[in-house]
Amino acid sequence: MTRKEIVLYDLRKRNYPNKRGDSFRSLQVFECWVCGVLTNEVVMGGSHGYGVRVICPQSAECWHHELELKVNLLRQPHPKTYKAELQQEIDEIKKRHKRQIKNDIVGSPDFSLRENVTNVRSFKSNSGCIH
């Protein structure tokens, strides 16, 4: 059996596929600051011009939008009791969706090269999402 060779592109070398819509796997690992998922799937996209985009695999989910709102709220100054309440709500959403928050890593990337995903929010059509 031959193992399928997976090319991991080092973004620092800038030799990755660069046509709009291209997608590839990177040596760098990207973390979603909303749900904490890790991915190394890069797409060449964006609405104005284009470039390296890393989209959280859960970014189109309504619960992910809700989680994003709460994580953003938590970053602002609030009374301690409210912060504790928010943190609890965040933990509960993460717990409820634990099975969906699965890392999407292909190959053996370098986990010390950690960056943030570029997109935490996307939308599905007709999902009934209220955000």
Binding stretches for Zn ion (CB under 5 A): 32, 34-35, 37, 56, 58
Minimum distance from CB of 81 to Zn ion (Å)?
27
Q: Going by DSSP bridges, is the β-strand pair 8-9/23-31 parallel, antiparallel, or unpaired?
A: parallel
Q: Which is nearer to Zn ion, 31 or 85 (CB)?
A: 31
Minimum distance from CB of 116 to Zn ion (Å)?
10
Minimum distance from CB of 13 to Zn ion (Å)?
27
- Among the listed residues 130, 108, 4, 120, the one whose alpha carbon sits nearest the alpha carbon of residue 59: 120
Q: Which is nearer to Zn ion, 18 or 100 (CB)?
A: 100
Q: Which is nearer to Zn ion, 43 or 56 (CB)?
A: 56
Instruction: Look at the alpha carbons of 111, 5, 105, 20 in this order and tell me if their dihedral is positive or negative.
Output: positive
Indicate the SS3 state at residue 51. Answer: strand
